[in-house]
Amino acid sequence: LVQIMRSSGQSLVHLINDVLDFSKLESEKMELENAPVDLPKLIEETIEMFAYYASEGKLELIYFTEKQVPEVIFGDRERLKQVLVNLIGNALKFTKKGEIVVTVRVRAAQTSHGTLPVVHFSVRDTGIGIAPEHHERIFEAFTQADASTTRKFGGTGLGLAISRKLCRLMGGDLKVESAPGKGSNFFFELAFREVPQQGAAKLVDSADLQKHLHERRCAILCANQTLAGLVQHYCRSWKMEAHTLPGLAEPVIPQLLQWRPDVLVLDAKGQEPELLGKLCNALEEAGIPWLILQTVGEAKTPQSMPSEAKQSLVRFSYKPLSELKLFSCLIDLLGRGNGEGSLEPAVAKLSAAARDSGITGFHEKYPAKVLVVEDVPMNQKIAGMVLKKLGYESIEFADDGKQGVERVNQGDIDLIFMDLQMPVMGGVEATQRIRESFQLPRQPVIIAMTGHALAGVRESCFRAGMDGYITKPISIDDVKNAIVSSYHKLTGQRQADKPGAAPGESSSAPAASALPARL
């Protein structure tokens, strides 16, 4: 009964948020921001939000951003993200197996403002598909393709209506190509004003680094051919000799060894364990390194691991795969143990770049024992995944506010991510009890997690004593920013804050020595 009530409450909150957005759009009261947006970063962050959801089923979530896509554009980051989240979320909802592919391309177009980059976004899936006569109907408010769709999959019928209106508000339009049993492709184009970039080129585009991959042989073994093709595309762009294998079978192993690749890129998902073990044993004996593409939340396959003495032969990269992830791993693998040391400077540069991105070494700059208070198991897993990507290992979970308070009272918790709506005890009450139980400066940092941002919710969080506020589904950047902005409160600076003030509204600024180094 509690589960039913909780699920119903969350559905109601989502419906209210959708109705509010739709009402603003209908009344033409929604205003767009026009600020610099790191477009590739936004796309990657949005995709990463859905990594765990995709890994739960027999799905591959794949994305590709064309090299020519502008790095920084002027636009409304949150509204663009909202459209992408709606489209990817829909694709996941209606696709049980196969793939979801997000593609971002660009073309130049003449507009009244001169020549501008027009960015083409598409979200293609292998789901149930939509009959042509329903293509326009699905963009109407509170409707879906037909009544059976609503019964089977649920939903408000507002997501696509809102997305189309947002696209039109931003100067584009949302369209669909689909047929029953053939999947769907939702796409839109938006013209943006590009922000001129004067900084150094990205490391993945560095000729000095890429030359270390020139003419290297890469074998690719992925069950999903789109993923295999993406790996091949990236490798060939770095002038590698890259070939995909048809599948893992007994005869493939001697053929592979005869060709003698410099590296194998291997997706272990769906591979037969015994054959996988034979392949990796053969690679180890031949001294050929391999990169394993790992599904989020999936345990490392024992058969894919080398012996203790040969650990340097293998690297892991979480899917969805990005160009930088693949490039970093290949440089790392091909630069280790070759006896020349010629790639060591390149490996060092990439390691430094990873540190600068704020992921590698983040937990060392901001060490903490973390408690996630969240009643939905899937949301617990996603929060845990994000925190582990930032390097945190000491993570505990509580299923409601009461359990959270009891765990905090046992001591040694530094950082809490607190859901607001939970059975037994909600996040606001739990925060109030924690604040009443501790004397400064022993207070842990508490960051609210909520599925909505209705007026007054943020203020009630800060009045209760919370230090930060992020919305679900959470992203790595949201979590990083929340930790960075509130971490000084773990170093004795909380007493400088006004009671109930939002972060950054302190009566005096924290001492510079108490702040962590800038990312």
CATH number at residue 76: 3.30.565.10
Residues 163 and 243 reside in one and the same domain: no
516 in a structural domain: no
- Answer yes or no: do 308 and 375 share one domain: no
> For 425, which DSSP code?
S
The residue from 194, 213, 233 where one domain ends is 194
Q: What is the pLDDT of residue 503?
A: 45
Which of 166, 194, 222 lies at the terminal end of a domain, its last residue?
Answer: 194
The three-point CA angle 10-12-15 to 5° equals 110
HEC string for 254-293? HHHHHHCCCEEEEECCCCCHHHHHHHHHHHHHHCCCEEEE
Counting beta carbons within 10 angstroms of the beta carbon of residue 59, is it exposed (0 to 12), middle (13 to 18) or buried (19 or more)? buried
Q: Report the C-alpha gap between 435 and 257 in whole angstroms.
A: 63
- Choosing from 159, 194, 229, the residue where a domain stops is 194
Q: How far is CA 326 from CA 72, 101, 130, 232, in A?
A: 23, 18, 35, 11
Tokens at residue 507, please? 């009566």
CA-CA distance, 256 to 273, in Å (whole number)?
18
- Average pLDDT for runs of 10 along the chain of length 519: 39 47 60 88 87 80 94 90 91 93 93 85 96 89 53 59 92 95 96 74 81 93 95 97 90 92 91 89 93 80 72 87 91 65 60 53 87 90 85 92 94 93 93 83 86 70 91 82 88 49 39 29
Please name which of 37, 96, 104 lies closest in space to residue 68, comparing C-alpha atoms: 104
Q: Where are the alpha helices (DSSP H) in 445-509?
A: 457-464, 476-486
Residues 179 and 91 in one domain: yes
Q: Is 355 left (phi over 0), alpha (psi -120 to 50) or beta?
A: alpha
Q: How far apart are CA 484 and CA 511, in angstroms?
A: 15
Q: Is the same domain home to 272 and 414?
A: no
Distance (Å, whole) CA 478 – CA 497: 22
Main-chain phi, psi angles of 102, to 5 degrees: -105, 125
The answer on 179 and 207 residing in a single domain is no
- Is the domain of 23 the same as that of 170? yes
Do 221 and 127 reside in the same domain of the chain? no
Of the candidates 259, 266, 261, 252, the residue with the CA atom closest to the CA atom of residue 221:
266
Domain that holds residue 330: 203-356
Radius of gyration of the chain (CA): 25
233 and 215 share one domain: yes
Q: Which residues pair with 76 in a beta bridge?
A: none
Peptide bond into 473 cis (omega under 30): yes
Could you tell me if 326 and 387 lie in one domain? no
Facing residues of 267 across strands?
293
Distance of alpha carbon 4 from alpha carbon 8, whole angstroms = 6
Residue 6 lies in a domain: no
How many residues can be counted in the chain?
A: 519
Contact between 462 and 501 under an 8 Å Cβ cutoff? The reply is yes
User: Do β-strands 114-125 and 72-75 pair in parallel, antiparallel, or remain unpaired?
Assistant: unpaired
Phi, psi of 204 (to 5 degrees): -65, -20
Counting Cα atoms < 13 Å in the Cβ hemisphere of 108 gives 3
Examine the domain organization and report whether 153 and 213 are in the same domain: no
Which CATH number fits the domain that encloses residue 349? Answer: 3.40.50.2300
What strands lie across the sheet with 72-75, from one edge to the other?
Answer: 35-38, 72-75, 193-194
Q: Are residues 208 and 337 in the same domain?
A: yes
Q: Which amino acid is at 161?
A: A
pLDDT for 238 equals 96
Q: Give me the pLDDT at residue 199, please.
A: 54
Looking at the fold, whether 171 and 125 belong to one and the same domain comes out as yes
CA distance 382 to 476: 10
Number of domains in the chain: 3
Let me know if residue 139 belongs to a domain. Answer: yes
CB-CB contact of 93 with 123 (8 Å):
no
